[in-house]
Structure 1
Amino acid sequence: MPIKLIVTDLDGTLLNEEKLVSRANIEAFHIARKNGIAASIATGRMHLAAAFFGREIGAQVPVISCNGAMIRSIDTDEKIYEKYIDDDAAAEILAFLIKNNIYCSWYIGKNRFAPYFSWDMFSGYHTVKNFDLIEVGNNYKAYTKNVTQIVLRSSTDRLPAYIIRHLQEYFSGAVKLQQNTGYTIDVTPPDINKAVGLKYLADYLGIAKEDILVFGDGDNDIAMLEYAGISIATANAIPAAKKAASFITDDCNNDGVAKGISKVLSAAFPK
């Protein structure tokens, strides 16, 4: 099977626990590129992070962010595809979260918004250069149109169950809750996942799904793992992600992505 595109998740997959890309992982993508294979990112993070780590692995095609709701180019941030939460639903959700003192950030285009900035809420972003956001205070109502994703965040305590229950019950059909870590949860348009974004990117590039290799570890990677021709889960992946994958590689702290790429390329390009 000729591989033409490699797409990797970030946290728990390409990135180690220090939120860095290992030298071995970077080198593996370099070797893939020399064999004519393109690379991209598919993450629940915002476009800024997807583009930043995409550049680290030498990606030259657009990257997928916001769990599949956004695809933009790496260098010019050109919009390729976007899907939005209903404007009224976004406004109601933000009002509910802010009223209940739940910290949240949200994305409109390539811009990032939050009532205020706190590194405690973005501990995984210290390795992303030029990370910032627009602090809106209580003026959030001016920033509720064309929202691709809302993220609930807590730095210490788990997110209250009643908050999640309210979102699931009151906004059923209007949004989807993804990547629930207990301390963060992503709120996306209802018909969005990484497979949707990957299919759009593949069509845009003219690449068949059979010619795509993907890597992932979490619940928001499952649809993508099931979609691609070859899918690899890291050893630290959740059981459902491992079940959806073609095979398992090493964990994210031991160059799992590099080892997975090496295995696939060894089969595709035997010496």
Structure 2
Amino acid sequence: MDNYRVAFFDIDGTLADDQLPRELPFTERVPESAKKALKKLKENKIEPVIASGRHYRTLLELAHSLDVDSIISSNGNCIHYRGELIHQNTIPTKILIPLIEQLKQATIEFMLEAPHGIYYLEGSTYRGEHPTGKIRLNEQDPLPKDIVQLIVPLKDLRQFKLAEDSPLIIEKVAPFTANIHLKNGTKAEGIQKICSSMGIDVTQALAFGDEENDFTMFHTVGFPIAMGNATPSLKEKAAYVTDSVSNDGIWKACLHLNLISKQ
């Protein structure tokens, strides 16, 4: 597999082991074998890139520890190439306000994600998996104008539906979490823009994933790889299914596909 130049990695359930306590930082949930695989990929001129539904700032420590320079965050709604923001999608206020009202009427709590931080509404108890570092938004405060997506408990969305013609989409991104964002803000868009910045074609890209928000990656790259712990429907779209993240799936896939060597 000589022609691949970039490999995109989801975090939760792909690079980071979801079987470990989720309050642990990502750096402690990534197997040593995966860290070694990414280092060897880079040595072999295959650039590793993080592609996650999570907020950019929550990924920086992990990216730094893995020597990763480019990040697709917020499900493709924020794209950083070599440390610089090259693209961002924001939900227009005329779409955001009715969505917030719809969620409130359904008594569904949520957080609002902007590039500079994550907001929770006054009176809300929902803080996601990592409760610290959130910004309180009081009743009288104006809504930030650069909201890229909403973070919502997955269990609360079972009876919640968006209109068929809505410009928004609901995506499961982790075992207990979903995001609501613009349909055109996807990991696929992030891949296309990163590849364009690198001067390569998307067929020269690989992607590793495990969850529903990885479908667009799998439809875009030249070679999609599903983790052994991936959702069955994603495995069906994969060119190759490796072992689970906890059983060195990334390392094994890179060896099997001759992307790296054991030495």
Large movers: runs of 4+ above 3 Å: 98-101, 116-121, 180-183, 267-271
Amino acid at match of 2:74: C
Per the alignment, in what secondary structure is the counterpart of residue 258 of structure 1?
helix
Q: Identity of paired residues, percent?
A: 21
Q: CA deviation at 1:195?
A: 0.9
| TM-score, length basis structure 2 | 0.85
Question: Are positions 1:257 and 2:258 aligned together?
Answer: no
Return the offset for 1:267. Answer: 5.6
CA deviation map 1:221-267 (0-9, x unaligned):
11211211111100111122111111000112112112212222x26
Change (3 A) 1:201 1:74: closer
What secondary structure is seen at the aligned counterpart in 2 of 1:13?
coil
CA RMSD of aligned residues (A): 2.7
**Which has the larger displacement, 183-192 or 247-256?**
183-192
Question: Does 2:60 align with 1:67?
Answer: no
CA shift digits 1:73-130 (9 cap, x unpaired)? 575xx3210112222111222233345442211222232111269997432x48xxxx
User: In the TM superposition, what is the alpha-carbon distance from 1:58 to its structure 2 partner?
Assistant: 1.4
Q: Match of 1:97, as an amino acid?
A: L
Alignment of 1:1-271 (within 5 A): 1-17=2-18, 18=20, 19=22, 20-60=29-69, 62-73=70-81, 78-98=84-104, 100-115=106-121, 121-123=127-129, 125=130, 132-139=133-140, 142-153=142-153, 158-162=155-159, 164-165=160-161, 168-169=162-163, 172-179=165-172, 183-264=176-257, 266=258
Shift of 1:172: 3.4
Offset of residue 183 of structure 1: 4.2
Counterpart of 1:108, as a letter, is A
State the one-letter code of the partner of 2:55: M
- Aligned position for 2:25: none
Secondary structure (helix, strand or coil) at the match of 2:148 reads strand
| Residues 139-187 of structure 1: CA deviation (Å, up to 9, x unaligned) | 45x1242211111126xxx21544x12xx12x73221111176843211
What is the alpha-carbon distance in structure 2 between the residues aligned to residue 153 and residue 139 of structure 1? 25
Separation (CA, whole Å) in 1 of partners of 2:123 and 2:226: 33
Matches of 2:34 and 2:175, distance apart in 1:
29
Checking the alignment, whether the CA contact within 8 Å between 1:90 and 1:145 is kept in structure 2 is no
Which has a greater percent of helix? Answer: 1
Structure 1's 8 and 122: CA in aligned 2 closer, same or farther, altered over 3 A?
same
Query: Structure 1 101/138 Cα, relative in aligned 2: closer, same or farther at 3 Å?
Result: farther
- Structure 2 spans left out of the alignment, 5+ residues: 23-28
